[in-house]
Structure 1
């Protein structure tokens, strides 16, 4: 049974919020701003809202006619502008102006700063306030088990080198890191509160030095002093990063985002402090029947292989090969029941049952399922029973069917998309490219042997003018990572074979900023030396295709955790490791750490891995090849390990700072099915291979942020216009480039207030002096 959908959770949360407003007149007005309107539209239709006795929906940013007999349900972002607008609505200061609404039920999608709470509850509008509740719903549920912050610039903030002609200066870069820490902390808190989870936290702690602005400078003392002085005179930074740390958690206190520590560690400790503060303030009811959840905080540098690979699961392949915008909008040709050809934009979402049924299937399995669905809905007789019908034939036949218009459109859409993907697969060198990519990524051939002819297979592809430069960049990057760096002479030789442009070469070179070795000592030169390595191999697993053997490292990380094999040096807990029962200790049929086999298990696990990799006790895999096409499937293994009742299943939260891939999103569903856990994954945004290469091209150059916001599969959220001096709990438009935090919650009201992202006017504010004075705002808010 699948985990509870984040989309459904948010949908129910918003509907229950609207339903909680029960005015005497029955009818009410829903008041939103531009951003919360987008949040609502992501999970609700206007029809759903109007069904809840909503007479009309108003935008608080626009002039509105008074509705003095109706009460208003405000669903807003927590900004000082919106607080001022609420006060003007309910208690206008202009002589002779009537109140816009009879009363106000106030719901903010994120935590409201204490200063704004005080401003609102001590204003002339106070007698007309009926509820004042923080919802913690300020994030984007892009799928049932995936969420996004719609913040593609996060990748640059974390990894872009400091300095240079267009790069940020050190002070600006450190401010961006602090903003990123606050932003990500609040977003993760929102997700945890929404799910009513207060998890154990583990984070990725790599052996390489910190990256980006956090990289230790040559003059560490001078740089750290400058970073500390950066916050002097800032009440906002003093409150959040300096003066009020009583959490006892390193990294949450006065030092701020000091250089020399990994971002993942800083974020993990910040999240722990935020959760502790929330629990102290709100004392939420925690489900005792469900094992305590686990939150893993990683970043893009943990797995630099996954973003380059050609994936052949349906969703990942479509987003790689087809012009899909933001991972959800696709323009295609549709045939009506009259046989007329029309252009249409399709929305790929959880509302499309055909899409959800095949998006994580291999393209071969997806086509099989589409064919079966077509036969089921078209009938098994006449022309529809022809077993030799192509995807195009089936799509054309659908146009002649007189019934089931909605299903016809969905099947036609996905038959078109699948056919387009297969056309590109069959008419290009994609099979050969993908084999080289998989051999590099896994360090093994499909037969489980070292890839001894890798150069001979790769160089013709680099010389081939029919292979795009984008694909050549992907091949070279994967080969260099396979080799753990190549001599500079060999790197230049690869670039010459591929005839890459300057920016394309720099995309490969810039992998160094993600902790990848690109160039190594020339004494190691020579092609054959690279094949003598025996480390970092991914052994064949279950349910694989020859061109889909690589497993994202986040998947291996979670599997190792529940097998008790995840090494604590590389993946430490924020707090002491719990007993095995607290982590939901599940015995998996794994003899050694999967991550140790790919070089991320740390010393202890590496020892185990070395013992098994030496040949003793390790069974060499049999041939994975078959007589069927190169993407044909091996025999399946078991699944549904450790399945429990849905309401009692342990939850796992994965956060990948700096961008996730569609293969990692798919992994969340696969882990859920295999381990019987509820697994949710989120990130700043979603990378396609093209968008990943594109942003690497522009590191340290003009237009880098524009490149980051293009094609990121989840970027491009609307900006919120705010005054320059407005430091309310929303990310500033200047840094977000169309993105900002999102979160959710159990609707805790103001018996205590969680620390906001960016408090307003905090220099003289004392938390103990402000408490909500409106007694009827204490009414319990609806829970999901």
Structure 2
């Protein structure tokens, strides 16, 4: 079997299919190596495709949405899918599958539904473990209502996480996790419960994968709290596994505070730019297209599935200019093949050979690329990306005066970027340099003065979710609010910096890697040459704006940590990080393992407490190869502006 067959997403899909089969394990769908399910091989009338109603709460809906479309649910016999909090009519001849969090409110609603006998039977599935006290309370309630006979089955599913792709997940219902963990008003009890929730979420991940991991994390702080709780939970809950297959992956638990640059800086790759510049959530992207000629703007909505969309799978991690070029080339090839076939058939509209959806998918990506390009051009995103990358990679380490001058020039230019673009650059400047705090304060004040006195001109260009909407010489109420929150975020980080509570510049700098084996200048020259040969089209229009997005790729902090742990390099994190094995009581002394043979890790799960991002996920795939599969997870996936908003709450 391929590594994808054992992936977290495929395993979660298998568990949900069992749940929708009323937990009948005698018939499961067949799965191809690319994760495509065959729904048509079950006898009619079996539990596999028996008519049923699916009732879920909002967190469980977020789990199912990226995995199963409406048509796929219908093929499994789900005729209706409804939120548990809504008013629902009785359908007494059909069973209901409940998929909810084990909360007192949900249990009361289920008991009420059963007492009204809305459905023929109920199959109750809790996304995580039902606490014993709540289970006893629920049992008493069902007996009092005289409806205990309504329950056909009850299961703890251990599925409390959201899978966006084969190697990408987040925990469910953990919004604003960085602000929650780092906020000053959080009580010890609330923090303890939050760490418990994260540990249970990771227990769901490991149970679904059917794996007992080696757990590594930095000592002290949230990662160690979660690691120790998880270690104990795995030892106490062997039944939580959906099918242990004997593998022993490496689970690395990291703290967001160890790298605050990655989630805030601008990116250069296709998928990360979609998440940054457009409205993107649960694999759905939305944006407004403003066509020329005075026609009305159109709201576009597309579902992106990297596991089923060949173009997206191949190019999501590539620099944006290369994705543009690939889209034009592939669309031209498909169109040429289509025209050749039609010429042979006398112009009849027979579908071309191959995938009939290929052209439709490529045209969808043309629209998305155009929307991203509009934002990139309107806000001069490449300039912010280029300067931030230079700061983060230490290019100004010995010339802080030049760094300050270039940052000041860009954040006070009214024609460049919007409020959040400028704040994000200022934050990278704060985190990636050793300039005195007074310099950061000065740049902040100059930026604010510039915004207040000149307003923003970017609003006159094509705008998206982060664009300004004011005019020259004015700052809208919305932008003023963003500026105030942004300055609070800068003040918070400046305070952490002064107390040495964030890593130094040397910790943020890694080795440079050049994509596709060429030098940055070679790549740029090659791209420019190809682009100038196209007299029209998006690639030709993009050349001037996005060419600086080609070049070197730098390993982020998480990538270097995970690589050191995988390769067991001495005098690195392998010596310093805690080593926990749920099958061994107590901590393991890593230095004693030096004299033992340790097999290389084939499966690696990297989990970030406090929020993750697409650029970090993408960067970690640098160390994945045919012998190592790297899965990335976090308490939540946040866009740069969402993370900026959380920082602004902490001043």
TM-score (normalizing by structure 2): 0.71
After TM superposition, give the deviation of residue 84 of structure 1 in Å.
Answer: 4.2
Mapped partners of 1:308, 1:75: distance in 2: 35
Mapped partners of 1:298, 1:137: distance in 2: 22
Number of the residue aligned with 1:374? 331
- Aligned match of 1:267 in 206, 226, 246? 226
CA, structure 1 residues 472+132, in 2 after alignment: closer, same or farther (shift >3 Å)? closer
CA RMSD of aligned residues (A): 4.0
Q: Deviations over 1:390-420 (max 9, x none)?
A: xxxxxxxxxx998788444432232233234
After TM superposition, give the deviation of residue 192 of structure 1 in Å.
Answer: 1.0
Secondary structure of 1:355's partner? helix
Mapped partners of 2:372, 2:350: distance in 1: 25
Are 1:653 and 2:609 matched, yes or no?
no
Mapped partners of 1:326, 1:155: distance in 2: 20
Are 1:573 and 2:579 matched, yes or no?
yes
Number of the residue aligned with 1:495? 444
Number of the residue aligned with 1:210? none
Mapped partners of 2:606, 2:174: distance in 1: 17
- Aligned match of 2:312 in 355, 368, 374? 355
Q: Deviations over 1:648-698 (max 9, x none)?
A: x7321111111112111113433323x622222111222322222233233
Contact 1:314 1:358 (8 Å CA) reproduced:
yes
What does 1:765-776 correspond to in 2, within 5 Å?
A: none
After TM superposition, give the deviation of residue 543 of structure 1 in Å.
Answer: 2.2
CA, structure 1 residues 80+496, in 2 after alignment: closer, same or farther (shift >3 Å)? closer
Contact 2:508 2:556 (8 Å CA) reproduced:
no
Secondary structure of 1:467's partner? coil
- Aligned match of 1:138 in 160, 163, 171? 160
Mapped partners of 1:503, 1:56: distance in 2: 43
Contact 1:75 1:108 (8 Å CA) reproduced:
yes
Contact 1:441 1:550 (8 Å CA) reproduced:
no
Secondary structure of 2:578's partner? coil
Secondary structure of 1:499's partner? helix
CA, structure 1 residues 455+10, in 2 after alignment: closer, same or farther (shift >3 Å)? same
More helix by percentage: 2
Secondary structure of 2:305's partner? coil
After TM superposition, give the deviation of residue 534 of structure 1 in Å.
Answer: 7.6
After TM superposition, give the deviation of residue 273 of structure 1 in Å.
Answer: 1.5
Number of the residue aligned with 1:510? 492
What does 1:557-596 correspond to in 2, within 5 Å?
A: 557-565=561-569, 566-568=572-574, 570-574=576-580, 575-577=587-589, 579=593, 585-586=599-600
Contact 1:439 1:451 (8 Å CA) reproduced:
no
After TM superposition, give the deviation of residue 111 of structure 1 in Å.
Answer: 1.0
Number of the residue aligned with 2:127? 109
CA, structure 1 residues 466+287, in 2 after alignment: closer, same or farther (shift >3 Å)? same
Contact 1:491 1:519 (8 Å CA) reproduced:
no
After TM superposition, give the deviation of residue 157 of structure 1 in Å.
Answer: 1.4
Secondary structure of 1:312's partner? coil
Mapped partners of 1:66, 1:146: distance in 2: 37
Contact 2:102 2:126 (8 Å CA) reproduced:
yes
Mapped partners of 1:683, 1:535: distance in 2: 21
Number of the residue aligned with 2:425? 475
Number of the residue aligned with 2:616? 664
CA, structure 1 residues 342+25, in 2 after alignment: closer, same or farther (shift >3 Å)? same
Contact 1:72 1:102 (8 Å CA) reproduced:
yes
Mapped partners of 2:80, 2:402: distance in 1: 67
Contact 2:430 2:494 (8 Å CA) reproduced:
no
Contact 2:218 2:578 (8 Å CA) reproduced:
yes
CA, structure 1 residues 577+142, in 2 after alignment: closer, same or farther (shift >3 Å)? farther
Are 1:3 and 2:1 matched, yes or no?
no
Number of the residue aligned with 2:274? 318
After TM superposition, give the deviation of residue 511 of structure 1 in Å.
Answer: 1.1
Mapped partners of 1:429, 1:108: distance in 2: 47
Are 1:411 and 2:362 matched, yes or no?
yes
Mapped partners of 2:283, 2:73: distance in 1: 26
Mean CA deviation greater in 677-686 or 448-457: 448-457
Mapped partners of 1:13, 1:465: distance in 2: 53
Contact 1:71 1:104 (8 Å CA) reproduced:
yes
Are 1:541 and 2:513 matched, yes or no?
yes
Mapped partners of 1:402, 1:583: distance in 2: 57
Mapped partners of 1:88, 1:332: distance in 2: 43
CA, structure 1 residues 580+29, in 2 after alignment: closer, same or farther (shift >3 Å)? farther
Contact 1:140 1:147 (8 Å CA) reproduced:
yes
Secondary structure of 1:686's partner? coil
Number of the residue aligned with 1:47? 71
Contact 2:62 2:162 (8 Å CA) reproduced:
no
- Aligned match of 1:204 in 212, 218, 241? 218
- Aligned match of 2:641 in 673, 690, 696? 690
CA, structure 1 residues 517+197, in 2 after alignment: closer, same or farther (shift >3 Å)? farther
Q: Which runs of 5+ in 2 are unaligned?
A: 25-43, 341-348, 450-482, 521-549, 581-586
Number of the residue aligned with 1:386? none
Mapped partners of 1:341, 1:476: distance in 2: 34
Mapped partners of 1:301, 1:561: distance in 2: 19
Q: Which runs of 5+ in 1 are unaligned?
A: 163-167, 206-260, 384-399, 521-532, 587-648, 701-784
Number of the residue aligned with 1:13? 15
CA, structure 1 residues 334+382, in 2 after alignment: closer, same or farther (shift >3 Å)? farther
Q: Deviations over 1:566-624 (max 9, x none)?
A: 324642224315647999654xxxxxxxxxxxxxxxxxxxxxxxxxxxxxxxxxxxxxx
Contact 2:430 2:493 (8 Å CA) reproduced:
no
- Aligned match of 1:78 in 69, 92, 102? 102
Mapped partners of 1:25, 1:417: distance in 2: 42
Secondary structure of 2:4's partner? coil
- Aligned match of 2:236 in 249, 266, 277? 277
Mapped partners of 2:274, 2:191: distance in 1: 33
Number of the residue aligned with 2:560? 556
Give the number of equivalent residue pairs.
Answer: 530
CA, structure 1 residues 372+119, in 2 after alignment: closer, same or farther (shift >3 Å)? same
CA, structure 1 residues 104+510, in 2 after alignment: closer, same or farther (shift >3 Å)? same
Secondary structure of 2:302's partner? strand
CA, structure 1 residues 572+516, in 2 after alignment: closer, same or farther (shift >3 Å)? farther
Mapped partners of 1:512, 1:426: distance in 2: 31
Mapped partners of 1:457, 1:373: distance in 2: 39
Mapped partners of 1:421, 1:505: distance in 2: 27
Contact 1:311 1:548 (8 Å CA) reproduced:
no
Contact 1:334 1:413 (8 Å CA) reproduced:
no
Contact 1:203 1:264 (8 Å CA) reproduced:
yes
Number of the residue aligned with 2:199? 185
After TM superposition, give the deviation of residue 147 of structure 1 in Å.
Answer: 1.2
Q: Deviations over 1:110-155 (max 9, x none)?
A: 2111234345557354455443221112221122211122423211
Secondary structure of 2:130's partner? coil
Contact 1:443 1:450 (8 Å CA) reproduced:
no
CA, structure 1 residues 138+104, in 2 after alignment: closer, same or farther (shift >3 Å)? same
After TM superposition, give the deviation of residue 193 of structure 1 in Å.
Answer: 0.7
Contact 1:315 1:359 (8 Å CA) reproduced:
yes
Contact 1:15 1:49 (8 Å CA) reproduced:
no
Q: Deviations over 1:492-551 (max 9, x none)?
A: 3322443365543332221146x434899xxxxxxxxxxxx9886423224275655332
Mapped partners of 2:588, 2:509: distance in 1: 31
Mapped partners of 1:121, 1:534: distance in 2: 58
Mapped partners of 2:403, 2:373: distance in 1: 25
- Aligned match of 1:440 in 391, 397, 416? 391
What does 1:387-406 correspond to in 2, within 5 Å?
A: 406=357
Mean CA deviation greater in 149-158 or 541-550: 541-550
